[in-house]
Amino acid sequence: MAQAQGFRYVERADGTVVIWHHGRAAATLRGGRAARFLAEVGDDPQPVMARWTGNYRRGNERTARRHPRNQG
């Protein structure tokens, strides 16, 4: 899978973590979810942030676009 790019995160003083993608807030994590995210972020946080926000390619976008249900 290609590396995710364009993500950054900010940890606020109240413990909230905001994940940004290309300048837009993609996710806000609070409490236990924020703590789990911070524990998981390591040397390469880009794929971790992509997974936590659900903003990653699954490989089926082209197939779904051609599906009859999505025509027209």
Work out the pLDDT band at 1, boundaries 50, 70, 90: very low
* Amino acid present at 6: G
CA distance 5 to 32: 25
- Quick one: pLDDT at residue 59? 57
Q: What is the pLDDT of residues 35-51, one digit of tens each?
A: 999 999 988 888 899 88
- Residue 56: C-alpha distances to residues 9, 12, 69 (Å): 16, 25, 23
Work out the pLDDT band at 70, boundaries 50, 70, 90: confident
Q: What is the pLDDT of residues 11-35, one digit of tens each?
A: 999 999 999 998 999 999 999 999 9
CA distance 68 to 20: 34
CA distance 26 to 41: 16
